[in-house]
Amino acid sequence: MITNGFLKYFPAPRFLAQPAVGLAISDQAVRFVLLKHFDDGGLKPIVYGERELPTGAVLGGDVAKAKEIIEILKELKKDWPTSYAAVSVPEEKAFLLKTEVPLMAEKYIRGNLDLHLEEFVPIVSREAVFDFELIGPSKVKADSLDVGVAVLPQKIVSHFVDVLAAAGIKPLSLEIEPQAVARALIHHNDKRTILVINFGGVSTGLAIVGRNVVQYSSTLNIGGNAFSAALRKSIATAGGEIGGNIEKFSSLLGTLSVLRDEVNRLLAYWKEHRLLVDGVANSADDKIESIILCGRDSNINGFRAYVGANVNLPVTVGNVWANAFSFDEYVPPIQFHDSLGYAAAIGSALRRPIA
């Protein structure tokens, strides 16, 4: 969640509760959602949409073709009842991590992190923009607090802010995609540690989320496009049927093995991290308990079962409306398959719905 660190870019809003469109800029598309409170207690989308970006418009987590992005944002903004937005941007150039600070009042945490920022990210402090989320008291150190830290190079922030300004969009907040995705997928009362796998078009994001805070993330340079291409090849080879058993299709299996290896690497890293930092590797505390998939390619037939079998953890396809409403009360206008691509936009929209 990038907020206070960006105040020099963002003018103070006239009203603290100013509603804003959730706007997600990814490597292949721009998506937006505006949520509104209704009398039944739920949050429902009243405006939403998407537009594919030209190839290479966003490259490696940075703006590469500003003019094209600006024109698309201007066109999308015509459907908005407000010019304010809560924005998420790609994670490739970002750092998301968990660290500790001495026990102190929350208002002093930022200053402490600023002094030590270069100890845990390879960015000079004066060239970085960061924010933090308080996770809570350390479970192993009585005099410490756990915090989740998000860091972006200042020049990357400036590129996105400039594009938004040129399109007439006023950002009230800016965060990194895994943070917005986690807010959409994981119920606010669910304090478990969960691995979220988010399939973009050309990359896949993996984030470890605990106590509703992203504590680590990584990016795999293979995305839904590659999985879909391998799936089409497998189906063609099988004469049009994949039958839910993806393990017998070598072209798809080879592509998926890259993801499997990265997931296993992350699980091993987290176990070692818990041992070195928290001293609780064999404890249930903060152990990854499940995997949630999202992104439009996450519900490939047989894919969920394949991932689960290879990591020995329960795997589910996510519900991007987990913190908005119950399906027992409301059926959204966005089809389930399409909604999986809206996770970041919905997560950002949850920050500033219409009252």
pLDDT attached to residue 2: 47
Amino acid identity for residue 169 in this structure: I
Under 8 Å between Cβ of 223 and 202: yes
pLDDT over 50 (residue 4)? no
Phi, psi of 113 (to 5 degrees): -65, -40
The token pair at 254 is 């080879």
DSSP state at residue 241: -
pLDDT in tens, 171-207: 999 999 999 999 999 999 999 999 999 998 888 999 9
Cα four-point dihedral sign 82, 86, 90, 94 = positive
Least confident of 21-25, 240-244, 338-342: 240-244
3-class DSSP state for residue 29?
A: strand
- For 260-290, b/e burial (b = at least 16 CB within 10 A) is eebbeebbeebeebbeebbeeeeeeebbbee
pLDDT attached to residue 278: 62
Q: Which residue has the tokens 């201007």?
A: 74
10 Å CB burial of residue 23 (0-12, 13-18, 19+) is: buried
Q: Give the integer Cα–Cα distance in Å for 326 and 190.
A: 16
pLDDT: is 271 or 83 the higher one?
Answer: 83
- Residues with Cβ within 8 Å of residue 208, at least 6 apart in sequence: 193, 194, 195, 196, 214, 215, 216, 217, 266, 270, 288
- Residues with Cβ within 8 Å of residue 11, at least 6 apart in sequence: 170
When pLDDT is averaged across residues 1-5 and rounded to a whole number, the result is: 48
Which fold does the domain 4-349 belong to in CATH? Nucleotidyltransferase; domain 5 (3.30.420)
Angle in degrees, 0-180, between the axes of helices 303-311 and 250-273, rounded to the nearest 10: 40
pLDDT attached to residue 78: 96
pLDDT in tens, 91-135: 999 999 999 999 999 999 999 999 999 999 999 999 999 999 999
In DSSP terms, 218 is beta-bridged to: 206
305 pLDDT band (50/70/90 cuts)? confident
The token pair at 222 is 């293979």
Q: Give the integer Cα–Cα distance in Å for 293 and 299.
A: 8
pLDDT attached to residue 333: 96
pLDDT in tens, 201-230: 888 999 999 999 999 999 998 887 777 777
Q: What is the mean pLDDT of the chain?
A: 88
pLDDT over 90 (residue 3)? no
Cβ atoms within 10 Å of 115's Cβ, excluding its own = 10
pLDDT over 50 (residue 300)? yes
pLDDT attached to residue 211: 95
When pLDDT is averaged across residues 154-169 and rounded to a whole number, the result is: 98
Amino acid identity for residue 245 in this structure: N
pLDDT attached to residue 12: 45
**Strand-strand pairing, 170-176 and 193-199:** unpaired
137 pLDDT band (50/70/90 cuts)? very high
When pLDDT is averaged across residues 242-263 and rounded to a whole number, the result is: 69
pLDDT over 70 (residue 20)? yes
DSSP string over 30-63: EEEEEEEE-TTS-EEEEEEEEEEPPTTSEETTEE
3-class DSSP state for residue 190?
A: coil
Under 8 Å between Cβ of 173 and 2: yes
Domain segments of the chain: what residues?
4-349
When pLDDT is averaged across residues 260-273 and rounded to a whole number, the result is: 91
Under 8 Å between Cβ of 237 and 251: yes
231 pLDDT band (50/70/90 cuts)? low
3-class DSSP state for residue 242?
A: coil
pLDDT attached to residue 15: 47
Angle at 317 between CA 224 and CA 189, to 5 degrees: 130
Percent of the chain topping pLDDT 90: 70
Q: Cα dist. 17→100, 109, 348 in Å?
A: 31, 25, 14
